[in-house]
Amino acid sequence: MGDNKLETILECMHLNKDQLKSVKDRLHIEMMKGLGKASHANARVKMYPTYVRSTPDGTERGDFLALDLGGSNFRVLYIKIGEKVEQFSEVYKLTKELMEGTGEKLFDYIAECLANFIGKQGLKDRALPLGFTFSFPCQQKGLASATLTMWTKGFKASGVEGKDVCVLLYEAVKRRGDILLDVIAVVNDTTGTLMSCAHAFPDCVVGLILGTGTNACYIEKLENVETWDGDTDPPKQVLINMEWGAFGDDGVLDDLRTEYDESIDKKTHNVGKQKFEKMISGMYLGELVRQILVKLAENHVLFDGKTTEALRNSWKFETANLSQIEGDTSPDYKVCRKLMKDHGLEITDQGCKIVKAVCAAVSSRAAQLAAAGIAAVACQVGKSDVTCGVDGSLYRKHPRFHDIMTATIKQLAPGVNVKFVLSEDGSGKGAALVAAVAHTLKSKTKAE
């Protein structure tokens, strides 16, 4: 049945406790480099201060707009914050041409969608405070200033890297001349997730995204942030956007990377970048599984040694398929059979067991690596109870991700109880809450 061959091929995907503890320790070292003034420039985990100093306290009120750009769908939202939070939103599709064309065309489209939405909501004559969720690595110079350091997740629109995305948005709106715009804050989806969860769980201090990409953020003491250049008034804390997807870009994880990780990296727009993300997130796990299935077929462990053009086609096996296969409890492996048939392959029960084992190996490694990262963050927070807000399709849809992460964190940080809470629309509501907190603070300062 090729069990020995299967074990040999999957062995590289299995991480033991010592290896995971080492990942946790290595990430902590990288975090310190990112926070340090002298070491920040060369740090791969950038630990950017977001200029968000407070989480919601429940007193926030008002009407806000939010933009959410972070994947192939772009959203505009109108959010009313009162005793309850009401929101109205519309999704607009981003084409490959917009994602890979010029930055001017991309931002003109964003402005067009915003104008369209504002018109529909009857808000044309109101300059509502706006929170802009821009879920790509950015260095912030202030709450409403974010310079894109590098496109990720398949985007490569020209003329945006190295530019302030808030300025680009204002320029696109100015070209139209028909929108009143007041951008209060630019945030990424990780920050939005933490803020959204903190609205419901005031003790939330960590945010985590496990979706197409991955990232984490947390609230750090100001005294530990040597790169801080803002005021030092209370509260003496700031939310740090880790940009942990780039962990390992300097080679510190190379001993744990596999031939499949290397192969995936070579097929991406950003070769050599976001190595941690490429081992964990939803954009890549399906492709990892596909590559291992091809290797198993070539070694006559699967499909009687045959492959099809569909199976050999990069990126065609999706991470959603992995979640579906692992979540299927039917005795006849109905889901696996159908998905393999879609790839032109007939499969036996034993073959389905093997495919399921491959999916489990890939998802387990991803969940364990994410958990090692959160263990490092939780230890840095320095509390015995840590609440982590989490969002993303991988975490939400995979049947075992949460359980594997929880078990792994217990092993790696035994003195810390990490509680995961699901975000309610962090990238929309969270952005509005950041704008609301900043707007409330601004109003109080003016009143004083």
Does residue 176 have an active-site annotation?
Answer: no
User: In this structure, are strands 204-210 and 214-221 parallel, antiparallel, or unpaired?
Assistant: antiparallel
Which of these, 93, 145, 136, lies nearest to 116 by C-alpha position? Answer: 93
Does residue 75 have an active-site annotation?
Answer: yes
Per annotation, catalytic residue among 135, 196, 323, 427? 135
Does residue 135 have an active-site annotation?
Answer: yes
Determine the residue type at 422. Answer: L
Per annotation, catalytic residue among 26, 44, 53, 75? 75
Per annotation, catalytic residue among 68, 108, 189, 391? 189
Would you please indicate which residues are annotated as catalytic (active-site) residues? 75, 135, 189
